[in-house]
Structures are given as C-alpha cells and as structure tokens.
A = this chain, B = another copy of it.
Amino acid sequence: MPYRFLLVSAFSLPDTAGYRMRAFSGRKQDMLLNHEMLEPLLDGEEWDVHPGAPATHGEWPVETREEFAVTGVNRLKVVREACETGRYNAIVLLGGGDPGYVEAREIGHRHGIAITACAHAQMHAAGMLGHRFSIIDISENHNLRMADLVVQYRMTDRCASIRNLEFPLPRPAHAGRVSVQDESERYRRDQTSDMLESAVAESIAAIEEDGAESIILGCSAAYWLQPVLRRRLAEIGWDVPVLEGYRCAIAQAKMLVDLGVDASGVAFPKDPPPRTRRRKFV
C-alpha cells in the first residue's frame, strides 16, 4: 500500500517558550519526539511533518481542558488545508491528549482521508492485546483530559485506571517544579529518572491493584518512557505490553488505509448528509 502521511503536531511555540522537546521547524525528524523509535514504521514511506498551528492559549504546552479546546480548534485549519491539498491518504495527529481529533475526523471523512490520534490509537491497540489498560500519565489536570477522552471514546469499561506521576509539563502554573521535560533530559543524559521510577511503581500498581493488562502513556512528552518502562517491567517478571502514541497512531493509519476506510459516514456525516436517520441510540 502506498502510504502518504502528514504528521501534525498539536501546537508550535515560539523559541522563547523554553519548550525544548521537539523542534518547530527544520528537519522533519527533529519535529518529532523520539523519532528514532518511529523510523521502522516510516522508513520507505512518504511522510511529512507539520509543526503545529501557532499556540494561542499561551507560550507553554497544553494541560487544562481550556488549553486542549483552544489547541484543538487551531489545529482544524491545518487539517482542512492538508486534506484539500490531496497529497495525503492519512493524517496523524500528534500529541497525547488528541486535541481536535473528533472534529478533525469530521473534516477528514469529507475528503476520504483517515485521521488518527495518539490516545485513540493507543486505546484501540491495547484493546487488541487484552481487555483492560491503564494510562500512565504526567499530571493531575492532564489526567482529567485523558479521562475525558476515555469517556468520549467509550472506553470506560476498558480503562482500569489512570495513574498520575505528577511530573507536569513546563508551564508557568508549575514554575519551580520538576517537569517531564526535565526528566526526559535527565534520562537522556544520565539514564536515571525519578519519573521513570515512579512510572515503574505505578505500572506495577496498575497491574496488581487495578487489573491493567496493558500500559499506555498519556502525554506525548512522556513517550520516551515506552522502551525503558517495558524493559523494566519485564525484568521483574511483568510480561506486559507498553505502548506509546506515535507508533500506534501511525500503525492505525496504515491499517485504515489498508482497509480503504477512514471513519463511518453514519457517525461523521457529510454536511448536508445524503441520508438521515429518524432515530438514534447512544
């Protein structure tokens, strides 16, 4: 199958923002978090990266419900324009909290273009591996965004728990605290991280106390945990899948393109819809 993908980041920030986890311009690989983990999925395919619409909520990464809503709406313009170019058969929305995903699918379906997103794809991939997953996530408010997505995606019976590491994003509201960015840089530098240790402990609790059969990661800023968390859990005998969102969203995009589908036109009708239903069940 010839895949033609656009990977769209959640937002771009000015250089002054101090958010250093990915680039907002330049080489497409550098605009991706942990791009080395993605290479096996992207090598040989046609793909591009959009750095994200400029942030209008503030000069920091998103964590509150309002920030997710604002960011989601900003991304819709990028999605529409990408659809209209006719260059892509799937758009992969990057970012852990899926800003704009539901609305983007509405747009994508009008163009017959599959849209995938990181939380949605992880939850569906986890469902193929076992019944229940837990979300290992970075902070209280981000947890609640993840909880909203679990409800919206109708995954409440599959979500064993959301476990909070409380290493929040580098935002003014968290000034003076150790952030996920700090821990990512520390781990890259020293191969040690308190956040990793917490992720191991919370994953064990998720498995042993909450009934998790798979682990997924909440925030894309924490996706670097995936390989090491999986290894650490395996070392103590927990043979458990650990997923992260970028690969899941890319793999799901391939699956949808392979199957020639994007989204149901009954769930995401055109405007106006060619045919309507008298009654709907929720």
> Contact residues of A with B, CB < 8 Å?
1, 40-41, 63-66, 69-70, 72-73, 76, 100, 102-103, 106-107, 120, 124-125, 127-132, 139-141, 143-144, 147-148, 150-152, 154-164, 166, 168, 173-174, 202, 205, 207-214, 236-241, 243, 247-248, 250-252, 254-256, 258-259, 261-282
Contacts and interface: CB of A to CB of B under 8 A. Distances in A.
A66 B237 contact: no
Nearest to A128: B124
A238 B102 contact: no
Contacts of A155: 282
A155 B124 CA distance: 12
Given A40-B1, A69-B72, A252-B128, A141 B271 contact: yes
Nearest to A206: B279
B157 A154 contact: yes
Contact of A207 (B70, B103, B277): B277
Contact of A258 (B168, B209, B251, B275): B251
B41 A267 contact: no
Contacts of A124: 124, 127-128
Contacts of A247: 258-259
Contacts of A161: 279-281
A139 B156 CA distance: 28
Contacts of A159: 281-282
Nearest to A69: B103
A236 B166 CA distance: 18
A267 B162 contact: no
A140 to B, nearest CB: 4
Contacts of A1: 40-41
Contacts of A252: 128, 255
B248 A259 contact: yes
Given A276-B140, A278-B164, A282-B156, A267 B69 contact: no
